[in-house]
């Protein structure tokens, strides 16, 4: 913590008053206080005392879900902690989350903090408030205009991690599991067949050894570059797992985990392989925080995925599923396609994916559409795909390249109209796929679809 000047004290008093005023006006002060603090006092974070134990959770996919599982488990077991679940995962969000537990003199009154951190923002956070523990769920290509490629992000993270930080890493991700190589570390992963993923993806973000450039040998690939591999010419390779899933029973709805503190069964939070990864990541973090096996088991007995990411309901005998498939993120979308094809029953897919956020910034980028494994949707169980939005022709072209029958596809220009074009007789399950910026449109589609199903196809 850096020595404070008058500017810091003036800023902290001002933002406390601003936060109270915002609350009185009924506004949610989840981001603005931190933003104002940085404007008034640059790098405000460096003047705040660190909580006693500070965990940062970063990575391309899964960090929000893992953070939510951790927060729910800590609440359930009566732990005192702060997190930034209500705010942003940038430095302003971390300041906003810590402020209520910081004195006017900058001292922390917080024993435990669990903060989700955008991997791109580590240089604005780590030098000013260093983590005791850093969790990296995985690193993949994502939002390429902003993030470049996975190794670029890996190098940014690697340059910012202090030597004393304990690393909690995905042992099956050869890009992120060598982060901060000299640091104390522990690894999590899946140690059995997951039954829901396939290695035949288009893209793989690591193929050559980052130390000597030789082509890596993979013992197995779970999906994309996630798996177990090693370099034939040097010591680069996958580590042994400390926290691992040893068995998964989807029918009975549980998995068996093995940790340094013993083995036990956990209730599954979902059927996707990414759900299993999020679970074992959370088990590693909760164990490192100090929760007992019994406390962790109890937490998973009641754990639920956040409704904004996955929700399912039965309407007149048909299942309507809202599923987040993050835009600009080909791996997240490919996982969803792979998951859907393995689900039972006939399916109709409604695509509400056009990225208005990117359009607004005049940075339209359709590369990610072409990186997604749409080939997984070339499956007999998928009876119809309705594509909505101004980019529907790009999606249609890519789906045709994937070998999807033209007769199975319907396009419309307005995303909110896709439900009208769905053939209700074709599916037992209706998947509405949307991204973070199209959730409002997806909700409109959901309501239209439910109304149509209830009225037998007539609005």
User: Which residues here bind Zn ion, judged by CB under 5 A?
Assistant: 209, 211-212, 214, 231, 233-234, 236
Closer CB to Zn ion, residue 196 or residue 228?
Answer: 228
Q: Residue 178 Cβ, how far from Zn ion at the closest point, in Å? A: 11
Q: Residue 232 Cβ, how far from Zn ion at the closest point, in Å? A: 8
257 - beta bridge partners? 245, 264
**Pair 28, 94: CB distance under 8 Å:** no
Q: Residue 199 Cβ, how far from Zn ion at the closest point, in Å? A: 22
Closer CB to Zn ion, residue 228 or residue 342?
Answer: 228
Distance in angstroms between the alpha carbons of the first and the last residue of the chain: 62
Closer CB to Zn ion, residue 234 or residue 302?
Answer: 234
Q: Residue 195 Cβ, how far from Zn ion at the closest point, in Å? A: 32
Q: Residue 217 Cβ, how far from Zn ion at the closest point, in Å? A: 10
d(CA 158, CA 174): 14
Q: Residue 225 Cβ, how far from Zn ion at the closest point, in Å? A: 15
Q: Residue 241 Cβ, how far from Zn ion at the closest point, in Å? A: 21
Per-residue CA distances from 424 to 180, 266, 404, 420 (Å) = 52, 37, 20, 10
Judged by DSSP in three states, 297 sits in helix
Report strand pairing: 226-230 vs 382-388: unpaired
268 - beta bridge partners? none
If you count them, how many residues does the chain have? 459
Report CA torsion sign: 364, 444, 116, 267. Answer: negative
Per-residue CA distances from 233 to 182, 209, 215, 333, 336 (Å) = 21, 9, 9, 34, 36
Closer CB to Zn ion, residue 208 or residue 397?
Answer: 208
Which among 186, 177, 58 is positioned nearest to 115, based on CA atoms? 58
Closer CB to Zn ion, residue 62 or residue 171?
Answer: 171
The structure tokens listed for 145 are: 């205009």
Nearest 5°: the CA angle 298, 85, 224 is: 80
For 248, residues 6+ apart whose C-beta sits below 8 A from its C-beta are 190, 192, 193, 194, 195, 255, 256, 268, 276
315 - beta bridge partners? 318
Q: Residue 175 Cβ, how far from Zn ion at the closest point, in Å? A: 14
Closer CB to Zn ion, residue 155 or residue 200?
Answer: 155
Exposure on the CB side of residue 78, measured as CA atoms within 13 A: 2
Q: Residue 279 Cβ, how far from Zn ion at the closest point, in Å? A: 32
Closer CB to Zn ion, residue 106 or residue 210?
Answer: 210
Q: Residue 204 Cβ, how far from Zn ion at the closest point, in Å? A: 17
d(CA 201, CA 225): 9
Closer CB to Zn ion, residue 7 or residue 211?
Answer: 211
The structure tokens listed for 119 are: 């991997």
Closer CB to Zn ion, residue 113 or residue 174?
Answer: 174
Closer CB to Zn ion, residue 174 or residue 284?
Answer: 174
HEC string of 276-336 equals HHHHHHHHHHHHHHCCCHHHHHHHHHHCCCCCCCEEEEEECCEEEEEEECCCCCHHHHHHH
């Amino acid at each position: 913590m850096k020595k404070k000047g008058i500017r810091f004290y003036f800023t902290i008093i001002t933002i406390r008053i601003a936060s109270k005023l915002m609350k009185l006006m009924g506004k949610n002060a989840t981001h603005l206080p931190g933003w104002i603090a940085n404007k008034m006092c640059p790098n405000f974070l460096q003047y705040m005392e660190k909580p006693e134990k500070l965990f940062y959770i970063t990575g391309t996919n899964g960090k929000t879900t893992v953070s939510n599982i951790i927060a729910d488990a800590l609440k359930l077991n009566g732990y005192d902690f702060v997190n930034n679940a209500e705010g942003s995962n940038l430095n302003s969000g971390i300041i906003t989350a810590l402020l209520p537990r910081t004195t006017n003199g900058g001292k922390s009154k917080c024993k435990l903090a669990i903060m989700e951190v955008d991997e791109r923002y580590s240089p604005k956070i780590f030098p000013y408030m260093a983590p005791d523990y850093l969790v990296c769920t995985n690193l993949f290509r994502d939002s390429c205009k902003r993030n470049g490629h996975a190794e670029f992000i890996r190098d940014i993270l690697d340059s910012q991690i202090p030597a004393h930080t304990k690393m909690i890493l995905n042992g099956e991700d050869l890009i992120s599991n060598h982060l901060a190589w000299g640091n104390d570390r522990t690894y999590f992963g899946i140690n059995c067949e997951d039954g829901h993923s396939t290695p035949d993806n288009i893209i793989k973000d690591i193929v050559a050894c980052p130390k000597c450039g030789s082509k890596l040998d993979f013992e197995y690939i779970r999906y994309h570059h996630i798996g177990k591999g090693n370099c034939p010419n040097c010591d680069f390779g996958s580590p042994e797992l400390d926290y691992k899933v040893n068995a998964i029973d989807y029918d009975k709805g549980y998995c068996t985990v093995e940790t340094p503190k013993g083995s036990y069964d956990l209730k599954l939070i979902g059927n996707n392989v990414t759900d299993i990864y999020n679970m074992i990541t959370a088990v590693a973090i909760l164990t490192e925080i100090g929760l007992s096996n019994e406390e962790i088991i109890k937490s998973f007995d009641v754990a639920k995925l956040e409704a904004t990411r996955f929700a399912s309901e039965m309407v007149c005998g048909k299942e309507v599923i809202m599923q987040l498939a993050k835009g600009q993120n080909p791996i997240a979308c490919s996982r969803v396609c792979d998951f859907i094809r393995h689900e039972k029953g006939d399916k109709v897919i409604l695509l509400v994916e056009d990225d208005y956020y990117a359009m607004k910034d005049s940075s339209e980028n359709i590369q990610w559409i072409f990186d997604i494994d749409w080939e997984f949707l070339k499956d007999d169980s998928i009876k119809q795909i309705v594509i909505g939005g101004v980019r529907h022709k790009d999606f249609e072209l890519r789906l045709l390249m994937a070998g999807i029958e033209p007769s199975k596809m319907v396009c419309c220009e307005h995303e909110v109209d896709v439900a009208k074009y769905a053939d209700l007789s074709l599916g037992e399950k209706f998947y509405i796929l949307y991204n973070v910026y199209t959730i409002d449109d997806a909700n409109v589609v959901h309501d239209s679809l439910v109304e149509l199903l209830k009225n037998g196809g007539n609005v």
